């Protein structure tokens, strides 16, 4: 079996929450491993490999997976269409500066950005993690419109999920044509919280530099094991709140025009971001 829907993005916008809640629905099968990365990183492995990832399917109406990176990579929409046809898509968006700030601390916690790094500097430099450009949603959404009709592409917002989670899930259920009245047990829970800076962060950052010299498969196993250890470690501190003046400055400078284009394109009022 291959998917008939995908959760395509964006990073740090509650895609884990959507995936977990949809996975509880008896009419939905969603791969338990978030981020298969088939259409961006593993496309060369072929359709048989991808189909094998869904061997646990047992007749559910909707079948899908969640890889937030699919929205950002420009060649992915065409690959999805050529492989899966005219499927359903769910994309979660978040205030672009908030998303970047959350991603910044995500990489800090994993030792990929130094703990003493300055958010504004990392944001403006827009290095390997594309903290800034990942928030330019208009072009990313428009790329999908060349292949998928608007009625097959549901855009939801993290802000709405927090305020009205049931309404957001009902929209997803309606898109996937399953029972819209189902209420998952995880609906009120925070999935994959991103507010910890762990006690031995500085050691992790130094170790990551050494790990980069190892073969990729070896590095992956070590990092996966270390991540489980990290989750059990005590907190050193919570990230400071994003300065509101800086938030406003970065939004107006980098995103205001893009959001206006997006709002007109999807015909949704996104004024709550500004």
What is the secondary structure of 71-131 as a DSSP string?
HH-TTHHHHHHHHH-S-EEEEEE--HHHHHHHHHHHHHHTTSS-TT--HHHHHHHT-TT-T
Q: CA 161 to CA 163: how far, in whole Å? A: 6
CA-to-CA separations, 155 to 68, 196, 272, in angstroms, rounded = 13, 28, 15
User: Would you say residue 69 lies in a domain?
Assistant: yes
pLDDT in the model for residue 233:
56
The Cα angle at residue 273 between residues 91 and 153, in degrees rounded to 5 = 20
Output the domain CATH number for residue 16.
3.40.50.300
- 215 pLDDT higher than 70: yes
Strands annotated E in 159-212: 197-198
Residue with tokens 């978040």: 94
Range of 24-33, 149-158, 228-237 with top mean pLDDT: 149-158
pLDDT in the model for residue 269:
94
pLDDT in the model for residue 237:
61
Instruction: Choose the weakest-confidence range: 68-72, 163-167, 208-212, 228-232.
Output: 228-232
pLDDT in the model for residue 115:
84
User: Would you say residue 124 lies in a domain?
Assistant: no
Our separate counts of H helices and E strands in the chain read: 13, 7
Q: Which domain holds residue 16?
A: 5-96+133-192+255-273
Task: Clarify whether residues 152 and 67 are in a common domain.
Answer: yes
Q: How many domains does the chain have?
A: 2
User: Would you say residue 117 lies in a domain?
Assistant: no
Task: Clarify whether residues 152 and 221 are in a common domain.
Answer: no
User: Would you say residue 77 lies in a domain?
Assistant: yes
pLDDT in the model for residue 199:
42
The Cα angle at residue 107 between residues 103 and 110, in degrees rounded to 5 = 140
| Mean per-residue pLDDT, 63-83 | 96
pLDDT in the model for residue 49:
95
Residues 181-198: tens digit of each pLDDT: 999 987 876 555 554 444
Chain mean pLDDT for the chain: 89
Task: Clarify whether residues 69 and 92 are in a common domain.
Answer: yes
- 111 pLDDT higher than 90: no
Task: Clarify whether residues 152 and 226 are in a common domain.
Answer: no
| Mean per-residue pLDDT, 162-189 | 92
User: With bands split at pLDDT 50, 70 and 90, how would you rate the model's confidence at 151?
Assistant: very high
Closest CA to 201 of 67, 110, 102, 89: 110
* pTM (predicted TM-score): 0.84
Task: Clarify whether residues 78 and 212 are in a common domain.
Answer: no
Q: Are 211 and 220 in contact (CB under 8 A)?
A: no
Task: Clarify whether residues 183 and 140 are in a common domain.
Answer: yes
Percent of the chain with pLDDT over 90: 70
Q: Are 34 and 103 in contact (CB under 8 A)?
A: no
Pairing of the two strands 197-198 and 235-237: antiparallel
- 220 pLDDT higher than 90: no
Task: Clarify whether residues 180 and 89 are in a common domain.
Answer: yes
């Amino acid at each position: 079996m291959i998917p008939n829907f995908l959760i395509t993005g964006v990073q740090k916008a509650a895609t884990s929450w959507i995936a977990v809640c949809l996975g509880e629905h008896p009419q939905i099968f969603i791969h338990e491993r978030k981020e298969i990365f088939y259409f961006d990183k593993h496309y060369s492995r072929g359709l048989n490999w991808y189909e094998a990832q869904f061997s646990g399917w047992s007749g559910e109406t909707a079948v899908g997976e969640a890889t937030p990176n699919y929205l950002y990579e420009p060649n992915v929409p065409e690959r999805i269409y050529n492989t899966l046809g005219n499927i359903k898509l769910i994309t979660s968006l978040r205030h672009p500066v908030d998303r970047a700030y959350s991603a910044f601390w995500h990489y800090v916690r994993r030792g990929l950005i130094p703990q003493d790094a300055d958010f504004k500097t990392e944001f403006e430099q827009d290095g390997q993690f594309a903290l800034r450009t990942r928030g330019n949603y208009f072009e990313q959404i428009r790329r999908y419109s060349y292949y998928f009709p608007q009625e097959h592409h549901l855009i939801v917002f993290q802000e709405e999920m927090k305020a009205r989670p049931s309404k957001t899930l009902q929209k997803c259920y309606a898109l996937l044509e399953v029972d819209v009245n189902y209420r998952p047990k995880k609906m009120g829970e925070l999935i994959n919280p991103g507010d910890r800076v762990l006690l031995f962060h500085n050691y992790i950052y130094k170790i990551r530099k050494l790990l980069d010299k190892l073969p990729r498969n070896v590095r992956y196993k070590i990092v996966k094991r270390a991540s489980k250890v990290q989750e059990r470690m005590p907190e050193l501190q919570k990230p400071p709140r994003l300065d509101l003046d800086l938030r406003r400055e970065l939004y107006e400078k980098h995103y205001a025009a893009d959001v206006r284009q997006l709002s007109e394109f999807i015909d949704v009022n996104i004024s709550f971001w500004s």
